[in-house]
Amino acid sequence: MHSSAVAALLEPLSRPALIGWLREEDPARLEQLWQAADEVRQAHVGGEVHLRGLIEISNFCIRLCAYCGLRAPNTELIRYRMTEEEILACAQQAHALAYGTVVLQSGEDPLLSRELIARVVRRIKQSYPLAVTLSLGERCAEDWAAWREAGADRYLLRFETSNPQLYAKYHPPRGSDRRSRIEMLRELRSLGYEVGSGVMIGIPGQTYADLADDLLMFRELDLDMIGVGPFILHPRTPLAESDFRVFVPDGEQVPANELMTYKTIALARLLCPRANIPSTTALATLNRWRGRELGLVRGANVVMPNLTPPRYRVLYEIYPNKACIQESADACHACLRSRIENLGRPIGRGPGSSPNYQARYSN
């Protein structure tokens, strides 16, 4: 039996209701939010926790994103780019660990050419029954079409914030490309990718109303995958300078904390019941002890064990003190597996596409 509060949560959530939940502090009310999100997760994507092997293939980046430690002007960072053979070795490891998906992620690195990525995708798809997710930043439609042609299944591109002023300030455009990330997500969808996006929680200047709008945008875009995590300040970025930050009136700024991340995960689950939603590393960074588990019982159904060779992993520093950067892939796997088993949830098998995507292409 549902309490009436949980039942009310299963109705479509309005913008004021979302803002109310994001501001909610009462533990008993929040317990109802977690319960509703957990029930909706179970009903729509089941108990399985899908593992996606993350391979951070390059930390070179030509962009100036104000939040990210990989930004081009960060000359302190030692840059690396994995070779084709190194990437293939990680994919082999993913397969050996029975993962159904690999995620290739990088800074915006033009030397990851259209041809190179197409070849890597083709080789992975020919060698292993893995789904391939790409998260290589903003590229032209021709690159995305070529990679889809080569067999890539999914693309992740967070829109970061739906507030256009914040987005413009923190994410300077490059060259003459004026496509918004929202437009790019629509391009990716039209190419037949399973599409993922998301936002950072608590970037300076983000209000509760902004975060509610982000959540409504997830629904409007009908996302197949939703990744959200707390903003973590990197000292070598413009956001470390207080005169660069956008300030909003007292009481309006969303805090970049753990509780706000759980609320956002839970509300994303209620708005997009069939999406795949990871319990992210940024969340585990704020609570190494229980962050991943709490994400998984408050709406999430995916975790992304890191397969990047440790010598590179330490250099993929989008924010400092990232959780799990020292462990080998095997140690990372063993740790996550026992955490999931302790929750009493089965580990997903196969590619684990969102039922949302499956429904879109089933007739």
Cβ of 55: how many Cβ atoms within 10 Å?
A: 27
Return the residue matching tokens 């959200």: 228
Shortest separation between residue 300's beta carbon and ligand SAH, angstroms: 16
Instruction: Indicate the residue among 181 and 269 with the shorter CB distance to ligand SAH.
Output: 181
Residues 247-306 that bind ligand SAH (CB under 6 A): 282
The DSSP letter of residue 291 is H
> Strand, helix or coil at 71?
coil
Rounded to 5 degrees, φ, ψ at 104 are -95, 115
| Unique residue bearing structure tokens 């509760």 | 208
Q: Write down the least CB distance from residue 158 to ligand SAH, Å.
A: 4
Instruction: Supply the minimum distance, in Å, between the C-beta of residue 231 and ligand SAH.
Output: 5
For residue 17, which of 212, 162, 247, 272 has the smallest C-alpha distance? Answer: 212
Q: In this chain, which stretch among 25-33, 123-131, 231-239, 270-278 interacts with ligand SAH, using CB under 6 A?
A: 231-239
Contact between residue 188 and residue 144 where contact means Cβ atoms under 8 Å apart: yes
For the chain, the residue count is 363
Q: Which of 232, 267, 283, 303 binds ligand SAH (CB under 6 A)?
A: 232
Taken in order 11, 275, 285, 67, the sign of the CA dihedral is negative
158 near ligand SAH, rule: CB under 6 A? yes
Tokens of 88: 């293939």
Q: How far is the CB of 60 from ligand SAH (least distance, A)?
A: 10
User: CB–CB of 66/140 below 8 Å?
Assistant: no
**How would you label 267-296 residue by residue, b for 16+ Cβ within 10 Å and e otherwise?**
bbbbbbbbbbbbbbbbbbbbbeeebbbbbb
Kindly give the pairing relationship between strand 225-230 and strand 194-201: parallel
- The verdict on 105 binding ligand SAH (CB under 6 A) reads yes
67 touches ligand SAH (CB under 6 A): yes
Retrieve residue 247's tokens. 């300030």
Asked if 231 interacts with ligand SAH (CB under 6 A), we say yes
Joined together, the tokens standing for residue 258 give 């753990």
Q: Is residue 108 a contact residue for ligand SAH (CB under 6 A)?
A: yes
Near ligand SAH by CB under 6 A: residue from 22, 99, 132, 137: 137
- Measured from the CB atom, is 182 or 347 closer to ligand SAH? 182
Contact between 318 and ligand SAH by CB under 6 A: the answer reads yes
Q: Does 200 bind ligand SAH (CB under 6 A)?
A: yes
- The CA distances from residue 139 to 13, 31, 208, 262, 297, in Å, are 34, 41, 31, 31, 35
Which of 319, 333, 352, 353: binder of ligand SAH (CB under 6 A)? 319
Applying CB under 6 A, the site for ligand SAH has a residue count of: 18
Could you tell me if 119 and 91 are in contact, meaning their C-beta atoms sit under 8 angstroms apart? no
Least distance in Å: CB of 306 to ligand SAH?
A: 13
Considering only residues 93, 101, 135, 308, which one is a binding residue for ligand SAH as defined by CB under 6 A?
Answer: 135
69 or 100: CB nearest ligand SAH: 69
Binding mask 2-41 for ligand SAH (x = CB under 6 A): ----------------------------------------
Q: Taking a C-beta distance cutoff of 8 angstroms, is the pair 70, 317 a contact?
A: yes
Our CB check for ligand SAH shows the closer of 204 and 309 to be 204
Question: Smallest gap, in angstroms, from Cβ of residue 98 to ligand SAH?
Answer: 25
Kindly tell me which of 154 and 345 has the beta carbon lying closer to ligand SAH: 154
Helix (H, G, I), strand (E, B) or coil at 116: helix
Q: From residue 253, give the alpha-carbon distance in Å to each of 32, 246, 257.
A: 24, 10, 12
Q: Which residue lies nearer to ligand SAH by CB, 160 or 224?
A: 160
Binding of ligand SAH at residue 229 (CB under 6 A)?
yes
Is the Cβ of residue 86 or residue 138 nearer to ligand SAH in the bound state?
Answer: 138
Site residues (vs ligand SAH, CB under 6 A): 67-68, 105, 107-108, 135, 137, 157-158, 160, 200, 229, 231-232, 234, 282, 318-319
